[in-house]
Every structure is written in C-alpha cells, then in structure tokens.
A = this chain, B = another copy of it.
C-alpha cells in the first residue's frame, strides 16, 4: 500500500497559559493509504512548527521536509516503518524539528498497520500480552506546601497509588523551601504511597544545586528525582546518581532520538528512563530504548502529559515488560486532551491501567469532540499555499477554504477517507 495523504489537525484550548502543562494543545496526525486504511498519531510538540517541518521547501539534500520522505512510500509492514525512520533521519538530518513531526506520523503508521491486521500495536512489537501498569498521577506542584499536600491527597483519593509532583516553583527558591514541598507531598501521598519528584531541568548542569535537595528527597523516601539537568549533561547526571543513594535519577523525556535516551542510561546513570513516543521518533525508536533498558537493569517508563491517544502510543513500547510496572498518567489534563478521543484508558479496581487490547492503538479520534478546539493554519511561500488546515472526516469543508484560490491538491483523498488533503507538494514551492 502507498501512503497518499498525511493530514495535521492542530487543536488548542481557548487560552494557553504559562503553566508547564502540555495538554493545552495537541497536534494530531492522520495517515491514509491508497487501500483506504487510516491511522492516527500525535506529536508532543509545537503544532505550528511541526507542521512547517512537514511542508517547508527543501534547503538541500539533507535538509528536506519530512513529507519528502513519506508521501508516496510503500507501507506493507513493520519493516517499512523502520525504513522510513532511517529515510527521514537521513533526508532531514539538518532539520531539527523533523524528529517531532516524524514522531506523530510514525505512531499513526503503527496504528494504521494494527487496524489493518486487526492486532494491537504491542502484538506487532512482538509482545504476547499487555501487562497492567501502576499509573502515577502527574501533577504540578502547588503554590504552597499545603496546596501540594492537598493535590497529592486528592490523587490518592482518586485511586492513584503513586503521585508525581514537580515544576511550579520547585528548584527556583531555596533548598529549604523545596524540602517543605517534598515533605508536604509525602504527607499527602501517605506512608504507603509512591512519591516521585520532577525538577524539570531546573538546575541545567549545576550538580551542587541538585545535590542540596537530596537529603529531603531521601527523608521523604522519594522513588525518583526526575530531570535534574538538561538531557545532555551526562556527567552531572552520573555524579548525582552516585550521591543519591535510595533516590533513583529519572530522565529522558527530552530525547528526540533513541541515542539520547540510551546515553542517559549508559553514561548518565539514570535508574528510570522516561520516553515520550511522540517526541523520540515514534514507537519503534522508543522500543529500541526499552530493549536497552531491559538489558541494563534500568526501568522503562513512558512520558505522557497529553491525550489518551498519546498515552496508548507511549504505553505500547513497554506494554509487554511485566516487571516495568510504573507508568505516567496525565491526571489533570485540559478538556481538549479528553474530548479528542472516544475511548479513554481508565484505572481499574486495582488502580492499574494497560495498553488497550484492541486493533492499532485502540483509541479512536472523536471528530465532534476535537472540532471545537481546532485552529486554522495557513502557510504560504511566494503566494502558494504549502499548508491549509484540512477538514475533519465528516465535517463540511471549512468556510475559510472558499477564500483560498488556486489550491492544487497533489495528493488524492483515499477512497474511504473524506478528509480534505492538506498536503501540497513542497518541492514545487520554489519553482
């Protein structure tokens, strides 16, 4: 089968704040092939910039837009996804944003293959079953220790056995203030809960600043300290890991290729490697990291702060690893992240979740739910439209399109897919 259309849908909340909350917008990707197969993915990335990386005019042979390596390509099986990963890596070597754009497309290709074969993605990855995971509620730290305590307590009341707090002011004030927050979080989580703390790279590569927080984390029996540093500071990670005793160092969400995450395992001494399939290049590269983690005695954990489509995608790479139990769960997402899909991955009576036992990712995008959030993007070079937001399946052509003149579609809509194709031919842009 041939990939003949790739459509991007950019949704956002009416107001996007400065909170470190990645669920305020979403970039969904719909891939369709010439036999009418369809798959959906999501990029955990700046939507506009990731769209631009798909349609940009080429700069030279290894600074091509992502579309150049994907549209018109065969997709008959898993090996084709791996081949396209290599092709995009080569042709877009000098286009930084390409990794984030490709991540969503790669995920959509797994979903498409799984749906076509009637198999969950985790089975295509060679796993025999989808093992239950213990989700942690991922929450922003409160403005006061009391608020942090209350948030953690609420999460426990909702059935979460594990709670992660972080960002907010953590790491920006004194070690004493941070210690108060961590102690409050432990009180909220209770003596039997699992406590995790996220520093969000706040200390860049300052070992001393991070080390000053360790005693409080040890006293509160935190399972991990997440992202003390930028993901390139391997030496600082490794030295902190030596000092941290019972507290494991976690990181990896910033990895936009598997090498970066594997380096954190092999050189950074992390005990938990956190991978966002929607950033690292998709499910295949994430699975590569899971294999290295397994061989290295490091625990693989998903990173997910957005929708349940992204959650399913990020669970797949380690769904079959029974002993890698903990997983991230966006506990307070914005409404957009819930409304965009028909199904949601809910906690069971044990407080556990699992990657769906359903074809593909097992999550259907809900056009009616997504529609109110959609943003209309137009990108033109020399008066030619390189990108115009497509209509959703079943939605009438958007009014704006009436005002767009001479919009030659160079890809055809698939037989069963009524979406307006958004992909024009970037190679024509400069002719």
Contact = CB atoms under 8 A, between A and B. Distances in A.
Contacts of A60: 16-22, 24-25
Contact of A96 (B100, B201, B266, B431): B100
Contacts of A343: none
B48 A431 contact: no
Given A378-B379, A400-B383, A48 B56 contact: yes
A263 B16 contact: no
Interface in A366-411: 375-383, 386, 400
A21 B378 CA distance: 29
Interface in A51-79: 51-53, 55-65
A430 interface: yes
A56 B46 contact: yes
Nearest to A12: B430
A308 interface: no
A298 to B, nearest CB: 17
Interface stretch (A185-193, A226-234, A318-326): A226-234
A95 B46 CA distance: 6
A356 interface: no
Interface in A247-269: 254, 256-257, 259-260, 263, 266-267
A177 interface: no
A97 interface: yes
A46 B63 contact: yes
Given A49-B49, A95-B46, A256-B96, A24 B59 contact: yes
Contacts of A221: none
- A60, A259, A266 pick with most chain B CB within 10 angstroms: A60
Interface string A83-98: 0001001000111110
A291 interface: no
A47 interface: yes
Given A58-B16, A62-B20, A232 B205 contact: no
Contact of A232 (B21, B22, B94, B263): B263
Contact of A430 (B15, B61, B263): B15
Contact of A377 (B19, B234, B377, B380): B380
A362 interface: no
A99 interface: yes
B97 A49 contact: yes
A200 interface: yes
A24 B59 CA distance: 7
A383 B16 CA distance: 18
A45 interface: yes
Contacts of A382: 375-376
B58 A49 contact: no
Nearest to A205: B259
B62 A52 contact: no
A118 interface: no
- A47, A63, A234 pick with most chain B CB within 10 angstroms: A63
A61 B168 CA distance: 10
Nearest to A48: B56
Contact of A61 (B19, B48, B381): B19
Given A16-B430, A46-B65, A376-B383, 20 more contacts: A15-B430, A16-B58, A17-B60, A25-B59, A45-B95, A46-B53, A46-B56, A46-B94, A47-B59, A52-B52, A52-B379, A86-B204, A89-B230, A96-B256, A230-B259, A234-B267, A376-B381, A377-B379, A377-B380, A383-B400
17 contacts: A15-B430, A16-B57, A16-B430, A17-B61, A20-B62, A45-B94, A48-B55, A48-B381, A49-B52, A49-B56, A49-B96, A89-B230, A230-B257, A375-B381, A377-B380, A377-B381, A378-B379
3 closest Cβ pairs, A-B complex:
A232-B259, A52-B52, A97-B97
